[in-house]
């Protein structure tokens, strides 16, 4: 048995035969306000390896004494800057029929658990199957996204007879009938393994760790991971507690390896102007580049992105001209690349400049001389072991040139931002770009936006490309207040504001000024209220100010009450509230003085929203 430091989470281990030998399972219980909830009744354990090595039927040989894990570390970006990582670790040592040993390393934290396998010895093996699977009660509600290599689907809610049998993306959210919440994910995935997904195809209430489809990435790369002993698996992570515990958790990064970058002073989060949403071919046009550079200057945003087709730029200038103009305005350029290689069908150029170490060194050397601050690398299309190594190779080479990185068409975060803090954000979300792809997102976005803070955005920065007031190819139904609030509700270290210049120029002064000052990295994050698919209100702290964002996903007007008990007692604060007006395109501002004992009721339109800035007086 392993307990969290506050003793609210208890992980037990048991045997199917109730004897010293057999199949082994973990059991997870939560003390939910004095009520013991059997949160996950069984987690199957084991590995099947090549050469007939099986860790299915095993004998428990020994259990270590609990070891206190205590770490403090800081992050240059993310939902909180100072992290405290405290948990209890126990190692269970098993032996199989061939007298080979397998260690199960279990850590229990106040906000969840993480476990991994380790093998000692020498030699090379292939993992034929990982037996880890989570048995979930059928009365537990679940929010899950059907598997797709770009992780850009919608989440569906299901329970009981409506549970579908599919392969599913990480992370997956669950709510027990006793109102305990947990999120399944993984961390510390490296080149020694592949990324995994969840499948309940064999048993609808068992979610099994499943390896990539051999067809992913155009069939390139092996789907079964090859391991060299000694070896440790990725960590299987369960974030556990109430909804605020889920939203505020940094567990996925806490259990990843520490930073390999000693000096992080050059890593600068910030807001970015982005021309692709409003003009899919905007980077081809030198004048469009200049307009978005000017927008960044007007809005006090430090970056502008040159997206695809920058190598085909015309209408008055080429890449060098564009970079010269951007630098003359005192801002920094970011630049797009195709990940290249045979793993992607996408032929867009520049295609292969990230593909090999030699390519990257040559390209990063050029970019450094040109004053480019970071690269966006797109179209990975696989989570096989070779692709995991490719991601990490890009991050390591980029760090040698003080180059920030973000990934698109990619996997969901696996804790890498702690190890490589030059990794600023990932797409892996159905974001505002989907207003270009068809009419569906017009109707699904409002609810989708209220699910993401409890799922995808929990586990790392999310490049949704938010805050658009005009329309792209297909319109949105969200109010201006809702769109403005996404700047707080969604966290991304490089926050790409996607609208065209006039979308921001035509705003009233108060929301415009709000977007000029909104941070993109935070000291603290708190969920004030919400429920996936209905609404969400999040408060984030930076430099003694609190920024609050609230959105309504439903097709009904609401009065949302904000309590200010998270503020320091005996202090007075100025509250600036920017909220929905009488119709979707109206934004109203009101100022007041508040204390921690006060509360405010905000009327939001259907699919509406609001923001607030709380400053100490």
Torsion of Cα atoms, 133 then 135 then 140 then 142, to 10°: 20
Residue 413: pLDDT band (50, 70, 90) is very high
User: Do 61 and 207 belong together in one domain?
Assistant: yes
pLDDT recorded at residue 19: 75
Domains identified in the chain, total number: 3
195 part of a folded domain: yes
259 part of a folded domain: no
Backbone angles phi, psi at 473, to 5 degrees: -60, -35
Are 333 and 304 in contact by the 8 Å Cβ rule? The answer is yes
State whether residue 323 is helix, strand or coil.
helix
Pick the range with the lowest mean pLDDT from 31-45, 172-186, 497-511, 585-599. 31-45
174 part of a folded domain: yes
10 Å Cβ neighbour count for 442?
A: 16
Q: Which long-range contacts (CB under 8 A, 24 or more apart) does 16-24 make?
A: 20/59, 20/60, 21/57, 21/58, 21/59, 22/57, 22/58, 23/56, 23/57, 23/58, 24/58, 24/60, 24/94, 24/104
Are 272 and 211 in contact by the 8 Å Cβ rule? The answer is no
DSSP string, 561-602: EEE-TTSPTT--EEEEEEEE-SSTT-EEEEEEEE-TT-EEEE
In the predicted model, is pLDDT for residue 610 greater than 90? yes
Average pLDDT over residues 20-31: 93
User: Do 340 and 435 belong together in one domain?
Assistant: no
Residue 530: pLDDT band (50, 70, 90) is very high
Read off the pLDDT of residues 307-361 as tens digits, 9 standing for 90 and up.
999 999 999 999 999 999 999 999 999 999 999 999 999 999 999 999 999 999 9
pLDDT recorded at residue 17: 78
In the predicted model, is pLDDT for residue 18 greater than 80? no
187 part of a folded domain: yes
10 Å Cβ neighbour count for 316?
A: 12
Cis check: omega of the bond before 230, within 30 degrees of 0: yes
Whole-angstrom Cα distance, residue 563 to residue 572?
Answer: 14
In the predicted model, is pLDDT for residue 33 greater than 80? no
261 part of a folded domain: no
User: Do 291 and 357 belong together in one domain?
Assistant: yes
Q: Give kind and range of the element (H or E) at residue 252.
A: helix 251-254
CA atoms within 13 A of residue 33's CA, in its CB half-sphere:
4
Whole-angstrom Cα distance, residue 104 to residue 100?
Answer: 13
Residue 36: pLDDT band (50, 70, 90) is confident
Return the bridge partners of 562, or none: 600
pLDDT recorded at residue 47: 98
Whole-angstrom Cα distance, residue 523 to residue 129?
Answer: 41
User: Do 329 and 225 belong together in one domain?
Assistant: no
* Radius of gyration (C-alpha) of the chain in whole angstroms: 24
Q: Which residues have a Cβ under 8 Å from the Cβ of 411 and sit 6 or more positions away?
A: 151, 195, 380, 383, 391, 426, 428
CATH number at residue 438: 3.20.20.70
User: Do 274 and 228 belong together in one domain?
Assistant: no
User: Do 397 and 490 belong together in one domain?
Assistant: no
How do beta strands 181-187 and 235-241 pair?
Answer: antiparallel
Read off the pLDDT of residues 91-108 as tens digits, 9 standing for 90 and up.
999 999 999 999 999 999
Whole-angstrom Cα distance, residue 515 to residue 454?
Answer: 24
258 part of a folded domain: no
Average pLDDT over residues 559-568: 97
Residue tagged 């990257």 (tokens)? 360
Average pLDDT over residues 140-158: 98
How do beta strands 82-95 and 24-32 pair?
Answer: unpaired
pLDDT recorded at residue 154: 98
Q: Give kind and range of the element (H or E) at residue 540.
A: strand 535-542
User: Do 396 and 437 belong together in one domain?
Assistant: no
Torsion of Cα atoms, 401 then 188 then 531 then 568, to 10°: -70
Which CA distances in Å does 109 have to 82, 84, 254, 456, 588?
Answer: 17, 11, 10, 21, 43
Read off the pLDDT of residues 265-287 as tens digits, 9 standing for 90 and up.
999 999 999 999 999 999 999 99
In the predicted model, is pLDDT for residue 32 greater than 90? no
Q: Which long-range contacts (CB under 8 A, 24 or more apart) does 287-291 make?
A: 287/315, 287/316, 288/315, 289/313, 289/317, 289/322, 289/325, 289/326, 290/322, 290/325, 291/501
DSSP string, 253-282: HHTSPPPS-S--TT---EEEEE-TTT-TTG
DSSP string, 179-232: S-EEEEEEE---TTS---EEE-SS-TTEEEEEPPPTTGGGG-S-SSPEEEEEEE
362 part of a folded domain: yes
CA atoms within 13 A of residue 501's CA, in its CB half-sphere:
14
Instruction: Give the structural domain span for 392.
Output: 269-411+421-427
Whole-angstrom Cα distance, residue 508 to residue 500?
Answer: 16
Which candidate, 173, 166, 171, 174, places its Cα nearest to that of 147?
166
Torsion of Cα atoms, 71 then 73 then 77 then 80, to 10°: 60
Residue 7: pLDDT band (50, 70, 90) is very high
Q: Which residues have a Cβ under 8 Å from the Cβ of 421 and sit 6 or more positions away?
A: 75, 76, 77, 259, 261, 264, 267
In the predicted model, is pLDDT for residue 16 greater than 90? no
CA atoms within 13 A of residue 273's CA, in its CB half-sphere:
30
DSSP string, 342-367: TT----PSS-STTSSHHHHHHHHHHH
Whole-angstrom Cα distance, residue 615 to residue 576?
Answer: 8
| Percent of the chain with pLDDT strictly greater than 90 | 98
Average pLDDT over residues 482-502: 98
User: Do 489 and 561 belong together in one domain?
Assistant: yes
Backbone angles phi, psi at 560, to 5 degrees: -105, 125
Average pLDDT over residues 120-130: 97
10 Å Cβ neighbour count for 123?
A: 12
User: Do 439 and 553 belong together in one domain?
Assistant: yes
Return the bridge partners of 28, or none: 11, 40
pLDDT recorded at residue 261: 98
State the pTM of this model.
Answer: 0.98
Which candidate, 107, 104, 84, 81, places its Cα nearest to that of 94?
104
CA atoms within 13 A of residue 337's CA, in its CB half-sphere:
23
How do beta strands 558-563 and 58-63 pair?
Answer: unpaired
Mark which of 427, 452, 470 sits at the end of a domain: 427
Average pLDDT over residues 467-475: 97
Mark which of 191, 218, 252 sits at the end of a domain: 252
User: Do 472 and 595 belong together in one domain?
Assistant: yes
Which candidate, 200, 201, 195, 226, places its Cα nearest to that of 213?
195
In the predicted model, is pLDDT for residue 394 greater than 80? yes
CATH number at residue 189: 2.70.98.10
User: Do 240 and 285 belong together in one domain?
Assistant: no
Angle at 277 between CA 430 and CA 423, to 5 degrees: 60
262 part of a folded domain: no
Sort residue 458 into left (φ over 0), alpha (ψ -120 to 50) or beta: alpha
Mark which of 252, 278, 297 sits at the end of a domain: 252
Which CA distances in Å does 104 have to 57, 63, 373?
Answer: 14, 10, 42
User: Do 245 and 333 belong together in one domain?
Assistant: no
Give, as one character, the DSSP assignment of residue 520. S
pLDDT recorded at residue 408: 98
């Amino acid at each position: 048995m392993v307990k969290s430091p506050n003793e609210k989470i208890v992980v037990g281990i048991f045997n199917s035969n109730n004897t010293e030998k057999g199949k082994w399972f973990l059991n997870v219980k939560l003390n939910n306000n004095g009520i013991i909830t059997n949160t996950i009744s069984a987690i199957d354990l084991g590995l099947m390896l090549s050469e007939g090595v099986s860790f299915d039927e095993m004998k428990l040989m020994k259990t270590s004494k609990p070891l206190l894990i205590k770490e403090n570390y800081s992050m240059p970006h993310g939902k909180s800057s100072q992290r405290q990582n405290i948990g209890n670790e126990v190692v269970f040592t098993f032996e199989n029929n061939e007298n080979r040993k397998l260690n199960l390393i279990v850590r229990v934290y106040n906000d969840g658990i993480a476990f991994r396998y380790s093998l000692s010895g020498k030699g090379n093996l292939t993992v034929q199957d990982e037996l880890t699977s989570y048995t979930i009660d059928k009365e537990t509600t679940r929010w899950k996204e059907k598997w797709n290599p770009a992780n850009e689907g919608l989440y569906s809610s299901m329970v009981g007879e409506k549970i579908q049998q599919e392969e599913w993306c990480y992370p997956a959210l669950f709510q027990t009938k006793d109102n305990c919440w947990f999120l399944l994910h993984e961390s510390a995935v490296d080149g020694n393994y592949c990324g995994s997904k969840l499948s309940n195809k064999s048993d609808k209430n068992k979610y099994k760790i499943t390896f990539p489809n051999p067809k992913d990435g155009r069939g390139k790369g092996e789907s079964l991971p090859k391991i060299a002993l000694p070896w440790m698996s990725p960590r299987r992570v369960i974030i556990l507690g109430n909804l605020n515990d889920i939203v505020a958790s940094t567990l996925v990064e806490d259990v990843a390896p520490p930073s390999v970058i000693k000096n992080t002073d050059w890593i600068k989060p910030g807001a970015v102007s982005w021309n692709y949403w409003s003009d899919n071919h905007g980077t081809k046009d030198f004048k469009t580049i200049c307009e978005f550079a000017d927008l960044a200057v007007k809005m006090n945003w430090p970056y502008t992105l040159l997206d695809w087709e920058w190598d085909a730029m015309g209408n008055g200038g080429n890449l060098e001209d564009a970079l010269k103009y951007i630098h003359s305005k005192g801002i920094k350029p970011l630049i797009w690349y195709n990940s290249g290689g045979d793993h992607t069908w996408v032929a867009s150029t520049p295609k292969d400049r990230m593909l090999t170490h030699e390519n990257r060194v040559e390209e990063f050397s050029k970019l450094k001389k040109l004053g480019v601050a970071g690269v966006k690398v797109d179209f990975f299309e696989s989570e096989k072991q070779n692709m995991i190594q490719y991601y990490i190779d890009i991050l390591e080479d980029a760090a040698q040139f003080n180059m920030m990185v973000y990934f698109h068409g990619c996997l969901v975060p696996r804790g890498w931002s702690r190890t490589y803090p030059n990794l600023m954000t990932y797409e892996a979300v159905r974001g505002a770009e989907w207003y270009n792809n068809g009419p569906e997102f017009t109707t699904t976005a409002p609810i989708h936006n209220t699910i993401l803070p409890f799922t995808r955005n929990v586990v790392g920065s999310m490049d949704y490309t938010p805050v658009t007031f005009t329309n792209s190819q297909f319109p949105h139904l969200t109010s201006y207040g809702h769109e403005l609030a996404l700047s707080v509700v969604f966290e991304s270290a490089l926050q790409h504001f996607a609208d065209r210049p006039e979308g921001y120029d035509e705003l009233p002064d108060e929301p415009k000024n709000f977007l000029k000052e909104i941070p993109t990295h935070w000291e603290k994050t708190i969920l004030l209220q919400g429920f996936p698919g209905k609404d969400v209100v999040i408060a984030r702290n930076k430099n003694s100010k609190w920024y609050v964002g609230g959105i309504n996903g439903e097709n009904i007007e609401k009065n949302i009450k904000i309590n200010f008990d998270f503020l320091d007692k005996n202090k007075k604060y100025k509250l600036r509230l920017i909220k929905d007006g009488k119709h979707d395109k109206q934004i109203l501002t009101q100022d007041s003085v508040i204390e921690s004992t006060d509360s405010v009721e905000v009327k939001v339109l259907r699919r509406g929203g609001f923001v607030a800035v709380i400053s100490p007086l």
